[in-house]
Amino acid sequence: MEQKKSSSWFLAAGILLLSCNMRGPITAIGVLVGEIQQDLSISSSLAGLLTSIPLFSFAVFSLLVPSLSDRIGNTRSVVLGLLILIAGLLMRSLLGTIGLFLGMFLTGLGITVFNVLIPSLIKENFPLQIGLMTGLYNCCLTIFSGISSGASVPISQATSWQFSLLIWLLPAAVSLVIWAFALRREPRPALTQAHTPGQTPWKVLFRSPLAWQVAFCMGLHSFIWYSLSAWLPSLLLIKGMNAESAGFIGSFLQLLCLPSSLLVPIIATRMHSQRLISALCYSCYFVGLLGLLFIPGGFWLYFFIAILGLGCGTGVPLAVSFIALRSNSVAQAAQLSGMSQAIGYSLATIGPILLGFLFDLTHSWTIPLLLLAAAAAAMAVSGHFAGRDIKLPE
């Protein structure tokens, strides 16, 4: 019994360490991109591509991860993902311009494995603590993303941008040690050509309305979040906020995400149906976006940004909870996660571009904000149906 408890703590630490690697290495590039562009003399288009490469990796390769996991197992897939991540982190800091772009691709590819498999890992190892582990995972993800945003520039100024990026080797290496030990404890699975009993044929999954409802919860959240991450400071400047305050809002939103990202999945997984909590959480997106649209500035603008932040903190935790709760098996959870991540990050790559196009076309943020509000309303509808106490077809 004591050995089983020790193993659970070990795996919990491994899952939380994975989450520490999932956003920091990408956020660091975003805040250092100006310095990198100047040092390597690359164009603004290429510099912008740096932050988009991981999102393309998430969108394109998420559907392939469940097949990899089916053949070699979750643990081996995680170890492989960590090795790819470490190779990418080394290349982007040490091998010049070509290494930077190839390293970003490998970094995104490695993180794709964790994005897809963490809901499956939680369902497999903590079936009775899905809410707690999902909340802790999202808190670690948010905290390390914030650390990356705040610490990367000072470290770069004290040393170099290469060293600032290379620091992310530390959590990746510690994660690799833990998962390598976990790998030694499990037998090697037999390689198979057909899906395992826990898997659902892809055509069945893609024909399931419930699978699409869960996937759109993840997808529409990604569409809204990445669009706001790209354009919210510009919108706030037009509303009269100074540049320093507009830049602070990003950190303010991250801070507001923490309590809701921890508590919401714990509460949600204790309910037979998640329709009520889904409606409450996703309505925060809708109300916050309408506030950005109609409130000119002052105290009430901060108030509606706070409501928006509470909603943003629930998007991924609720979607991850749905993936674990609506699936019948560990293998099916990986498939549903792959489907959700692929749709989510496809919309995430489109969102900032589409909003920028609409602003250039109308010279106003009214249409872009109405589009985001419509996406929030659609997400609330998807969450209502995804929150029903039913399971996917097997």
Token pair listed for 158: 């004290």
257-274 pLDDT, tens per residue? Answer: 777 778 888 888 888 888
Of 84, 97, 107, give the one whose Cα is nearest residue 25. Answer: 107
Residue 386 predicted with pLDDT over 90: no
72: three-class secondary structure by DSSP: helix
For residue 371, what are the CA distances in angstroms to 173, 216, 222, 305?
A: 42, 16, 14, 17
* Residue 34, CB-side half-sphere exposure with 13 Å CA sphere: 4
Q: What's the Cα-to-Cα distance from 45 to each of 37, 52, 57, 153, rounded to whole Å?
A: 10, 11, 18, 21
Residue whose token pair is 């800091």:
93
Given a cut of 70, is residue 67 above it in pLDDT?
A: yes
DSSP 8-state assignment for residue 222: H
Q: What is the reported pLDDT for 83?
A: 93
Q: CA–CA separation, 165 vs 39, rounded Å?
A: 14
pLDDT, tens digit, 9 for 90 and up, residues 244-253: 666 566 667 7
Model confidence at 87, in pLDDT bands (50, 70, 90)?
very high
Torsion angle of C-alpha atoms 102, 108, 111, 112, degrees rounded to 10:
-120
Average confidence (pLDDT) over 281-309: 82
Separation of alpha carbons 191 and 121, rounded Å:
20
Q: What is the pLDDT of residue 188?
A: 55
Domains along the sequence of the chain with CATH = 2-184 (1.20.1250.20), 202-386 (1.20.1250.20)
What confidence score (pLDDT) does residue 361 get? 86
pTM reported for the whole predicted model: 0.78
Q: What percent of the chain has pLDDT over 70?
A: 88
Higher-confidence residue: 193 or 343? Answer: 343
What pLDDT does 127 receive? 79
pLDDT the model gives residue 318: 84
